[in-house]
Structure 1
């Protein structure tokens, strides 16, 4: 039997450590496997806001949008995050930005135009690191 990610109800994903864990999940769907590493489910979300023309930067009057990206997760999961480092398109200065506040879901707001992939590293307090990415198109 192959051991690996298992899809549970409500979209939760956990890592099974053995075939016995898989069997246990079949009879106990609320059982969360994670003796070695707890299962943390987070995703990268974004929102686009149209900036009024008179508030746009010179040279970007027709294309500029306001963007906010943040980490989506339960309050319990967010409280386990130490920081989130965002990797923006290399034309941004700075192109690497870290956020340390869970109260705003480690949000980063900026202005941009066009489309690009934003990457993020989520650093958990227990030492785990999760890589996230999202293609932004606006």
Structure 2
């Protein structure tokens, strides 16, 4: 037996997440504070590090009748980098070797915009630093 749905999906897990997100978003969307994609994931998925792939974005947008990028505010994670890395977007250059203490660069922006040049031998990643940023 085949069934049809106006959602056009066979994977209801995507819509389960979208319904949870819509339940959080609907009462809060008129607030003066914009709702962030991270807050939406934290409340709907109980995980602020969850991503919003295209299928989730579309299912959510279908339910609330608003495009995802207009319904929530997306912020990029700041990476504080020091060392042999240069990132150029047009005429703007960020040189992590020359900046003190370090430049704060957008994580997604580094991947999708401009030209990144790095000849580092390794990377040290520190998540949630609690020390003074000037040391």
Normalising by the smaller structure, the TM-score range is under 0.3
TM-score, length-normalised on structure 1?
0.26
State TM-score, norm by structure 2. Answer: 0.26
Whichever of the two has the greater Rg, that structure is: 2
Task: Give the number of the structure whose residues are more often helix, by fraction.
Answer: 2
Structure with the largest fraction of strand: 1
